[in-house]
Structure 1
Amino acid sequence: MKYDIKDINLADLGKRRILWADKDMPVLSKIRERFEKEKPFAGLKMSCCLHVTAETANLVRTLKAGGADVVLCASNPLSTQDDVAASLVRDFGIPVFAIKGEDNETYYKHLESAIAHSPNITMDDGADLVSEILKNHPELYGQILGSMEETTTGVIRLKAMEKNNVLKFPVIAVNDVQTKYMFDNRYGTGQSTLDGIIRATDVLLAGKTFVIAGYGWCGRGLAERAKGMGANVIVTEVNPIKALEAAMDGFRVMEMIDAVKEADIICTVTGNIHVLRKEHFEVMKDGCYICNSGHFDVEIDIPALKELAEEINENVRNFVDEYVLADGRKIYLLAEGRLVNLSAAEGHPASVMDMSFATQALASEYVVKNKDKLENKVYVLPEEIEQDIAFTKLATMGIKIDQLTEEQKEYLSAWEIGT
């Protein structure tokens, strides 16, 4: 079996972490039990480009249980948990191409290894795998039944591909499914981003001014949790509806050029490029921490920061680089501008990834079952699949909910009854 990981001897720790996460992923476990019996992916090859974490390990275990021939590569150079990668190779027989801290050349070499698997189904977190296939591997177009996309940034890219008529196979926008974005993006990103910031800096959030760029599901989750830890939260936005929502949720809303003058900590969660740039660095407070929890390392204009810096001191703490400007001010960049929650911490808790990865698994099954009906477009899952995941999650939490009576069903489907 071919693979490329840091050290196979890390596997013991990795296996413990995988099984620890598994106990908090009961919905995915139930799906895995069914897949083992039904083998929906028998005879199919799957290439997954995801964050190589303990939670992801349980997803690829589930796909393999369903009969798939699976390989896994990293979707981010800093998010790989090397011990998990080792355990997947040694204990679960799944080839992995991922090393934490790999350079750009190695990252794309690992992508090519996943493509060389000649997949029938792909799974992405950021759309790098699909992008590489579309640009460089036309020989695979006809054999790919579909792809799954995990994150907001990837969905944005895929919708652009569809609009430009370059998408050659159907894609399920898993990120746009309620059982993903309402929980993973909000509760997962909110908690894990703060976890990464605190681990990297040891900062006390209470009393600090915390600026959050973007008030989508990730931004609002982060804002809620930062506020809950005593931070004074400022939100910046370009969307007037989201800005209004942030204001009515009790947060200060202002332009970034003004917000950075007050900020002790700034985190970008927009999915866009150069949200923090030269004019912002020039007026930031001395000692400001800046970080990103959007998918790619482009939200902070790092080249511009390097040009302004008179001195750069790397790793003054783990995952913290110090940029000293000409006037003596210091700006601290966390995790090289990459996903701070996965680089400096462990990513989302398993219990919330349970629903996201259950959605991934069922989306893959949906693609196989409907391969003759799907066009080369970006789709969301049917609502009944979301409902099934939500009901199963509630059951594992010991929560029961009411059901509509026949009278209520009739009332909701009728129009005659008025005031």
Structure 2
Amino acid sequence: MALRKRAQGEKPLAGAKIVGCTHITAQTAVLMETLGALGAQCRWAACNIYSTLNEVAAALAESGFPVFAWKGESEDDFWWCIDRCVNVEGWQPNMILDDGGDLTHWIYKKYPNMFKKIKGIVEESVTGVHRLYQLSKAGKLCVPAMNVNDSVTKQKFDNLYCCRESILDGLKRTTDMMFGGKQVVVCGYGEVGKGCCAALKAMGSIVYVTEIDPICALQAW
């Protein structure tokens, strides 16, 4: 909100055409509204078929943001929504904001010519970054990409503190279960895994950890 107040008069993002694929939550809505206030044009899809808050997606659509997402999409719906984000006459994105790499993958697969005008990719997730490294090693990454996880605040705060809150919220929304006494397997004991394990254990779950790094495995033990 402070950024909006300080910079909306200058419109520093005028000319930015951002296509995004993240969780559609209230936090994302604040981000999109802020990008719009700073002069950017946005089109958005969901990176997860379960996490969309329908009331948020509806509110964004009513405000004029092209948003393609609803809770409980099928896999075909998921790719249809991503396609609707990018396959529109007279609109060419010049930046990708991705969480998981699916949007980048879809543009690369279906609309590779779009990369001629795309200035860069911002990738939020470790999974998406791995996919970008694979493209880079194959010599197929044709635009600059920013790994948000390189930021120490992303690693040490968002990954540790935020994920341990969102993991319980997300699992409860999708399963409608109690977690006391449930046996849960967490794959990986990095910053995200540490936070998720702590939250699940605090709920009374029996937590098992798989980990390939010997130091992280020792920490889990």
Task: Compute the TM-score of the two structures, normalised by the length of structure 2.
Answer: 0.89
* Pairs aligned (count): 216
Q: What is the CA distance between 1:230 and its match in structure 2?
A: 4.3
* Paired position in structure 2 for 1:68: 40
Structure 1 residue 234 and structure 2 residue 208: aligned?
Answer: yes
SS at match of 1:141: helix
Task: Compute the TM-score of the two structures, normalised by the length of structure 1.
Answer: 0.49
SS at match of 1:201: coil
List runs of 5+ in structure 2 lacking aligned partners: none
Quickly say closer, same or farther: Cα 1:38–1:145, change in 2 above 3 A.
same
Structure 1 residue 100 and structure 2 residue 71: aligned?
Answer: yes
Structure 1 segments of 4 or more deviating over 6 A?
Answer: none
Instruction: Give the whole-Å Cα distance in 1 for the aligned partners of 2:123 and 2:200.
Output: 28
Counterpart selection for 2:140 from 166, 184, 187: 166
Counterpart selection for 1:87 from 39, 53, 59: 59
Instruction: Give the whole-Å Cα distance in 2 for the aligned partners of 1:198 and 1:139.
Output: 41
Q: What is the CA distance between 1:198 and its match in structure 2?
A: 4.8
Structure 1 residue 125 and structure 2 residue 96: aligned?
Answer: no
Equivalences for 1:91-240 in 2 at 5 Å? Answer: 92-116=63-87, 117-198=91-172, 200-205=176-181, 209-240=183-214
Alpha carbons 1:35, 1:62 under 8 Å: kept = no
Q: What is the CA distance between 1:209 and its match in structure 2?
A: 5.0
SS at match of 2:43: strand
Equivalences for 1:238-387 in 2 at 5 Å? Answer: 238-247=212-221
List runs of 5+ in structure 1 lacking aligned partners: 1-28, 248-419
Superimposed CA distance per residue, residues 15-42 of structure 1 (whole angstroms, 9 cap, x where no aligned partner): xxxxxxxxxxxxxx22222331221211
Alpha carbons 2:20, 2:43 under 8 Å: kept = yes
Letter in structure 2 aligned against 1:105: D
Instruction: Give the whole-Å Cα distance in 2 for the aligned partners of 1:79 and 1:230.
Output: 24
Structure 1 residue 37 and structure 2 residue 9: aligned?
Answer: yes
Instruction: Give the whole-Å Cα distance in 2 for the aligned partners of 1:131 and 1:209.
Output: 34
Counterpart selection for 1:48 from 20, 31, 38: 20
SS at match of 1:147: strand
Letter in structure 2 aligned against 1:164: A
Instruction: Give the whole-Å Cα distance in 2 for the aligned partners of 1:101 and 1:192.
Output: 18
Larger Rg: 1
Quickly say closer, same or farther: Cα 1:38–1:219, change in 2 above 3 A.
same
Instruction: Give the whole-Å Cα distance in 1 for the aligned partners of 2:186 and 2:115.
Output: 40
Instruction: Give the whole-Å Cα distance in 1 for the aligned partners of 2:210 and 2:112.
Output: 41
Instruction: Give the whole-Å Cα distance in 2 for the aligned partners of 1:69 and 1:211.
Output: 41
Instruction: Give the whole-Å Cα distance in 1 for the aligned partners of 2:110 and 2:172.
Output: 41
SS at match of 2:166: helix
Q: Percent identity?
A: 42
Alpha carbons 1:134, 1:166 under 8 Å: kept = no
Q: What is the CA distance between 1:72 and its match in structure 2?
A: 1.0
Quickly say closer, same or farther: Cα 1:109–1:194, change in 2 above 3 A.
closer
Alpha carbons 2:122, 2:145 under 8 Å: kept = yes
